[in-house]
Homo-oligomer: A and B are copies of this chain.
Amino acid sequence: MPDIEHVREMSDALLDLMDDWNILEHDERLARFKSLEISDAKRFFFFLDNYERSGLLQSFDGSEAQIWIRLLAPDDAADILRDLPRKKTAFLMSLLDDFTRAEVAAILSYDEDSAGGMMSPLFLRARINMTMGEAIEYIRKQMQHTRVKATRYAYVLDEGGILKGVVSMRDLLTSRPSVPVAEVMSQNPIAAIDNMSTDEIRQIHDRYKFQSIPVVDEAGHMKGMLSIEEILEMVEEEATEDIQRLGATESLGAPYFEVPFRSMIRKRAGWLSVLLIGEMFTATAMGHYEDEIKRAVVLALFIPLIISSGGNSGSQASTLMVRAIAVGDVKQRDWLKVFLRESASGLVLGGILGVLGFARIFFWPMREVLYGKHYIRIAFTVGFSLVSIVLWGSLAGSMLPFLLRKLRFDPATASAPAVATLVDVTGIVLYFTCAKIFLSGILL
């Protein structure tokens, strides 16, 4: 993240490259980047995300790479190095200064999606035996000499590096200089443990909404901090993952154009194949009703309409529930309340669609030519099928995320298409059951 100092004015060459970046091939990117003036190039390097920085870094020779990797904050450097082949990582690590290398190595020792793997090891600190006046002098020096991100808080550590408290910029600016830090600070601040998952960090963020969250190890030693920027990035990445899963693809994990073609196919083909295999049961289910279709071909005409309505209502309910669980609006133990609410919603929504479906047949100008003289019974079959399948879709779609969570899977696995496939197969059975009720002895 750039500090405000970097802004001032941006050259045309810089703005042009920002606009063109996405449609350029790798070699053109490299050439245009190298043609920038050094101040513009630095500004641009900060504008890029870590995927794109990684692409540039890998194309540079040693001395160039050294300039650029040393510009990065340790958490960004770790983020880039983590995804490279081991040999490349070792080479780039060797270009860092000793101090940063130790910090990057510390981050790399954590799991990528843990608090430790995302934290920045640079933070503003004060010592617990200082006065506020000493603390402000100490913090002033840190701001002048390191690449620490300026935040709203400074963390107070004891001699052993244990996190003891936190003071805000407001405290620093408004307290008398002679007061001890220990008197002003908030004690026992909320902190993330270094091995906490993104979900747990998100829960802390949702509850406290701090500008930054300190990260400590089990013994309480302060290891780094998660700033609001990192939390913001994490929240966006999670939303993107959820959205992509809802769209029946594995999370791409990178911007669309940055994902290599083979890996894009692998991530998309998996789910599509699983869903196809799921849909094969529709052929099996239909097979059971082959005789009925032979006797009343008119029934076949409405199958896509029926199953897709079930699929849509299932997608709708599962999407609402997956998102409500993700943002914390709905908890696991709310399931019964959701079940009751979705039963009511499903019935009303089914009723609305059922009436529309009934009307489509009952009032169609050529109804007798198209659907035969028993068109009223066909209309009832379609109408009642819609009521039951929309109810079933709403219940299956809303309950599956709870079930998956109970079984310790990610609720977003109950992606809309997975629910739709489930509802498709059962929808065929529901439809032909309704048909038997209304048409038995007449067409069937």
Interface residues of A (CB under 8 A from B): 1-5, 7-9, 18, 22-23, 47, 136, 139-140, 143-144, 150-153, 166, 168-170, 173-174, 186-190, 207-211, 228-229, 232, 235-236, 239-240, 242-244, 246-249, 252, 255-258, 261, 264-265, 268-269, 271-273, 275-277, 279-280, 282-283, 286-287, 290, 293-294, 297-298, 300-305, 307-309, 311-313, 315-316, 318-324, 327, 329-331, 333-334, 337-338, 341, 344-345, 348-349, 352-353, 356-357, 360, 370, 386, 390, 416-417, 420-421, 424, 428
Contact status A305-B276, CB under 8 Å: yes
Contact status B247-A173, CB under 8 Å: no
Q: How many copies does the complex hold?
A: 2
For the complex, give the distance between the alpha carbons of A311 and B308 in Å.
Answer: 10
Contact status B8-A323, CB under 8 Å: no
Contact status A4-B174, CB under 8 Å: no
Contact of A169 with B168 at beta-carbon distance under 8 Å, contacts A283-B305, A344-B261 already known:
no
Contact status B301-A207, CB under 8 Å: no
Q: Which residue of B lies closest to A313 (CB)?
A: B272
Contact of A320 with B247 at beta-carbon distance under 8 Å, contacts A282-B304, A353-B273 already known:
yes
Residues of B close to A319: CB separation below 8 A? 243-244, 246-249
Q: Which residue of B lies closest to A344 (CB)?
A: B261
Residue from the list B143, B242, B349 in contact with A269, Cβ < 8 A? B349
Residues of B close to A293: CB separation below 8 A? 293, 297, 300
For the complex, give the distance between the alpha carbons of A319 and B267 in Å.
Answer: 14
